[in-house]
Structure 1
């Protein structure tokens, strides 16, 4: 592997994402660790849903301006369809795309006007989605409206805890809303948040989940992410930044290179959508 890229990172200088890192030190902690792990690029996912992180979009944008390895995504509150100028102007401000999170009260991209979803897709290179299975099931009806961007479904579709002994029928049933999205070529999946499936490294309970996702999407549509720094509330830093030890059971070295960063680096190497020359 010639170097990796991380498809799911959270960073803040105001507020913090993990109690395992002192406030104000997430950026330097990750920066040191990513150098040791040969991570050359990081997709930094904006999130403003926790107290103290209300300005995270501005925060990650400021971080990106000082560090070329940071590729920021602007958080959008799914409860409030964004104004057109926010979507069309995000790339010019320096964002590579957007992030949308599940809403416990049921608000969903499917509730947005079709024109807004299409402007969302046109306004950035990446749309990162943290959606639980019920919300993923609703996404299928509107996924076509997002065809202008690369949709990255985080954390293997958040199937929830699964033991290593779970049968294939149970695994597929949990993953059905995600697997149904494989027919959309612009939808890919992040190999991230394994600790939410099985908290004990090497997260053996996530092996069968990953195998099913690989079978449906292929290795070119699976992108590894560390989930730094929220992952540190469950696992150590080295574990968070390491590819799962069982991945060679499922993929060839070339495929692992794609999963571990080559696919994301190719995506990020393309000229940013909507950004104009100064």
Structure 2
């Protein structure tokens, strides 16, 4: 199926001096990564991008850099990094890697909502156990758009019968209107290379339980380039039997509608 003419990238990264992944792929010159992404977005037809901040280790200050970029680029919406135990920005990224940190984040989200400071958008890099700990907060903050990254981080699943058990916390959010799952980072849930056919049962289960309207596309630029090309990131695994209209919804319309709905909800 041809890729839709326009895309909404719900998950990319931009680092001032480049991201260095495990395989050593890096664009270290100042703004070289930005220039590369801008070429990709023009060629792929990306109309808007949620740029996920990450301020740990050698990437300290990334959120500030993204804020500077956004000031002169309407297509770029930065999601400010949330440190463990810290304030969650209006448009935020968070990386609760285990239930303990997820519980801390959930408490912070609920406290902010009670004080009238609920965020409008939160991108979550969270494995299933962390999603379980966050579920009460996700359900309570109805005016916050939660985007669960990278298929819910299930890791490779060699037995399709195990998909529902592995992703149970994510699947339990079926019918929760403020939740979408990004079909990004598929390389991290496969034991082989592109086209990542062993991810198909994961994608199909997400579509079956959550619905097509809960799925969105993300490139995971530039970390993805350690494993695949940008074109391969666009050519991701979609639900089996997806129609042209459903593909358009995943690549663009679902994210576009949610951004329009939630971006100003708590501004």
Specify if TM > 0.5.
Answer: yes
8 A Cα contact 1:101 1:130, kept in partner: yes
CA shift for structure 1 position 231: 0.9
CA shift for structure 1 position 243: 2.9
8 A Cα contact 1:17 1:229, kept in partner: no
8 A Cα contact 2:150 2:186, kept in partner: yes
User: Residue 127 of structure 1: SS of its match in structure 2?
Assistant: strand
Q: How does 1:84-103 map to 2 (within 5 A)?
A: 87=89, 90=90, 97-103=91-97
CA shift for structure 1 position 72: 1.0
Match of 1:175 among 152, 167, 179: 167
How does the TM-score come out when normalised to structure 2? 0.87
Distance 2:256 2:41 in 1: 15
8 A Cα contact 1:8 1:226, kept in partner: yes
Q: How many residues are aligned here?
A: 256
Report the CA distance shift for 1:118/1:257 in structure 2 as closer, same or farther (over 3 A). Answer: farther
User: Residue 220 of structure 2: SS of its match in structure 1?
Assistant: coil
8 A Cα contact 1:224 1:243, kept in partner: no
Match of 1:132 among 120, 127, 130: 127
CA shift for structure 1 position 157: 0.5
CA shift for structure 1 position 188: 1.2
How does the TM-score come out when normalised to structure 1? 0.84
- 1:144-165 alpha-carbon deviations (Å, 9 max, x no partner): 22211111100110000123xx
- 1:74 equivalent to 2:65? Answer no
The root-mean-square deviation of aligned C-alpha atoms, in Å, is 2.2
Aligned to 1:60: 66
Distance 2:44 2:225 in 1: 16
Distance 2:100 2:118 in 1: 25
Distance 2:98 2:194 in 1: 29
- 1:272 equivalent to 2:238? Answer no
Match of 2:112 among 96, 103, 116: 116
Report the CA distance shift for 1:212/1:219 in structure 2 as closer, same or farther (over 3 A). Answer: same
8 A Cα contact 1:10 1:17, kept in partner: no
Aligned to 1:4: 7
Q: How does 1:1-278 map to 2 (within 5 A)?
A: 1-16=4-19, 18=21, 19-23=24-28, 24=30, 25-49=32-56, 51-77=57-83, 79-82=84-87, 87=89, 90=90, 97-103=91-97, 106-108=100-102, 109-112=105-108, 114-117=110-113, 122-124=118-120, 126-163=121-158, 166-167=159-160, 169-198=161-190, 199-240=192-233, 242-244=234-236, 246-247=237-238, 249-269=240-260, 272-275=264-267
CA shift for structure 1 position 16: 2.6
8 A Cα contact 1:224 1:260, kept in partner: yes
Mind listing any 5+ residue stretches in structure 1 that lack a counterpart? 91-96
User: Residue 100 of structure 2: SS of its match in structure 1?
Assistant: coil
